[in-house]
Homo-oligomer: A and B are copies of this chain.
């Protein structure tokens, strides 16, 4: 059965080899932000005839095709997530390393306004928040993520 990412690959005219199909499937089932090493582990678990070089080449290719996005959360290795994941940013819990996704329309507006003030059209932007879980009892559970129309979700 054809995975979501595989369909995108085909649409973009990529040759679908066995390895790419496996990697595409791993990515399709991915709800987090794995690095290449982790993708390699997951892919190799499905089909051991995959080398890490191929994973590197594939994520690079998919990034160029706009199917994947590369992230840098610090730590020296790139991490990846599927693009069709909706526009959002990340808040990294400095204590646990957990990654929480969020989006915020007002924030987007402010950024566009800043760029405009400087005489630029905003092409893209990168934003990461680093935070510490609030201790006061009033902290809402961060895991209230209604599937399908989520606003914030915890992941790794």
Q: List A residues at the B interface (Cβ < 8 Å).
A: 72, 74, 91, 93-94, 100, 102, 104, 106-107, 110-111, 114-134, 139-142, 152
Contacts and interface: CB of A to CB of B under 8 A. Distances in A.
A121 B134 contact: yes
A126 B127 contact: yes
Contact of A140 (B114, B119, B126): B119
Copies of the protein in its oligomer: 2
Nearest to A127: B127
List the 5 closest pairs (A to B, CB-CB), nearest first.
Answer: A120-B131, A119-B139, A126-B128, A125-B129, A123-B130
A93 B140 CA distance: 39
A102 B114 contact: yes
Contact of A120 (B91, B121, B125, B141): B91
Among A114, A115, A117, A134, max chain B CB count under 10 A is at: A114
A53 B30 CA distance: 39
